[in-house]
A and B are shown apart, each in its own frame.
Chain A
Amino acid sequence: MKDALGSPQLRSANRFSGGINRTVAPWRANTVPYISILFGSLVPILILAPTMPLLPPLGFMMLLGWRIMRPGFLPLWVGVPLGAFDDLFSGQPFGSAILLWSVCMIALEIIETRFPWRGFWQDWFTAGLALVAYILAAMVVSGATLTSHLLFAAIPQIILAILLYPLAARVIAWLDRYRLARARRVE
């Protein structure tokens, strides 16, 4: 039954929902962030980049975004299972994402204790720093011979990663509205 009392605001969480007499679907609310991070880990393997790294680490960007925009949703140890999944497809030696994602979660938790109130620009700054550190650290542990050429080849990827963070943040905000939409009918 579709009722006429749906929210007039198109951008609210009600956009995805059926109006009154509905509540948040717990299954959806708890899985969407994880699915989006796993999807982010999986997508880059389908792109052919034979000359140099092109795409930013999408899985890590989704993790960062969810962690920064929804603090407290992801448990602190979540870098282990999600990182292990990322390692299966990223081409890095197995264990690199487990290590780096866990360290990143701890670092973000400490930053959060230090600066509990933040704005978007501050978040972007934090995410940018984390992305640069992650890409460089991943390069160091990748098992490749480290040369200046390798570093130069990573610069476009780093810049792209930093510039794409606001877009990732919008995507995550959209997913968050979808996640918390009142979709389940109250019996």
Chain B
Amino acid sequence: MAPPSSRRSSGFSKRAQYSVFTGYVLAALGALLGLALLALSLWQPPALAPLRGGANDVVAPIGEGTATVRSTSNGVWQTVSAFWYAGRQNAALREEVEIARIRLEEAASVAQENERLKSLVALSESEIEPVAVARLIGSTSTSSRRFAYVGKGRNDGIEIGMPVRSPRGVVGRVLEVARNSARILLLTDTESVLPVRRSTDETVAFAEGRGDGLLRIRLINLGLNPLQIGDVFVTSGAGGFYRPGVAVAVLSELTPDGGIARLVADPSATDFVSIEPIYEERALDAALVSSETTLEDAENAN
């Protein structure tokens, strides 16, 4: 049985009555303060970011430790389950390897042809150098927002808006940066919108997070829905931030205006993520010249 009361009945003691009253007043003032801060941070999200960033800087080293443990325990579990399924898997893999060897030959010829065509158009292969490679050290696992944290920040050259990807595909983008930690808006957050296109053609769409681990694919050109279950979506590069051609999601369900898709890169399964520089579409300089002046005039003016 719980003790009778916190107040032990203030009775006729004026002092006890006042202290109870003061408690209520302070708590109500605290609630009002919270309301004001909440309104401020909903209205101006970056306003209190330094506070959060400082706190996360302090916690980041602990997160690095637990992240290491997490990836190790993942590995142990995978080893155990692999042992369990070894026999069945062996037969299936043998079959797969046979097919893969054939495909490899085909791929080699395609690669050669690709090389030749590229040399024809003088296109050099440009591999993007990531700004930083880091572990995901934690996430907001109690909130309905989906953020993750990495243990690298401004000191490593990370800036707001940089895309974050794992070897499999896009994970999200940097939302807030502190000295030694950064907050990432994951694709599954309801506020995350990413321009994508179907990998096989130029069907463009938006991939929006639903907040429950799935993405909603919304076609930009409404009409007949050309999508099919199993379609892979990649970033289109439209609007900048993400460079084009990185895998995002696989369609798993059709809806009238697009579909529901699963993530290709599950952040909990990835060990390291790379933070890449912001992709900027190179706009044609000619498009900046207003139509009243001719291009020759504009060139002479420069």
Contacts and interface: CB of A to CB of B under 8 A. Distances in A.
A53 B143 contact: yes
Interface stretch (A14-22, A71-79, A178-186): A71-79
Q: Is the interface of A mostly helix, strand, loop or mixed?
A: helix
A2 interface: no
Smallest CB-CB A-B distances: 10 pairs: A91-B140, A95-B37, A72-B6, A51-B213, A99-B34, A98-B34, A95-B38, A153-B212, A49-B141, A76-B23
Interface residues of B, number: 65
B120 interface: no
Interface string A150-166: 10111001000000000
Interface in A123-170: 123, 138-139, 141-145, 147, 149-150, 152-154, 157
A75 B62 CA distance: 31
A55 B143 CA distance: 9
A122 to B, nearest CB: 9
B29 to A, nearest CB: 8
Q: Chain A interface residue count: which class?
A: 35 or more
B18 interface: no
A171 interface: no
Given A94-B37, A117-B1, A153-B211, A139 B144 contact: yes
Interface in B42-84: 42, 45, 48, 51-52, 55-56, 59, 62-63, 66-67, 70
A79 B123 CA distance: 61
A103 interface: yes
Contacts, number: 224
A166 B76 CA distance: 32
A102 to B, nearest CB: 4
B3 A50 contact: no
B210 A149 contact: yes
A88 B55 contact: yes
Nearest to A98: B34
B136 interface: yes
B266 A93 contact: no
B30 to A, nearest CB: 4
Interface string B26-41: 1111110111111111
Interface of B: 1-8, 23-24, 26-31, 33-42, 45, 48, 51-52, 55-56, 59, 62-63, 66-67, 70, 136-149, 186, 188-191, 210-214, 266-268
A142 to B, nearest CB: 5
B190 A145 contact: yes
Contact of A93 (B3, B8, B29, B41): B41
Given A55-B141, A90-B142, 14 more contacts: A46-B62, A48-B138, A50-B186, A51-B212, A51-B268, A52-B188, A57-B142, A75-B23, A83-B30, A89-B52, A91-B145, A95-B36, A118-B2, A119-B1
A42 B59 contact: yes
Nearest to B141: A49
Contact of B148 (A48, A73, A118): A48
B24 A88 contact: no
B140 A143 contact: no
A36 interface: no
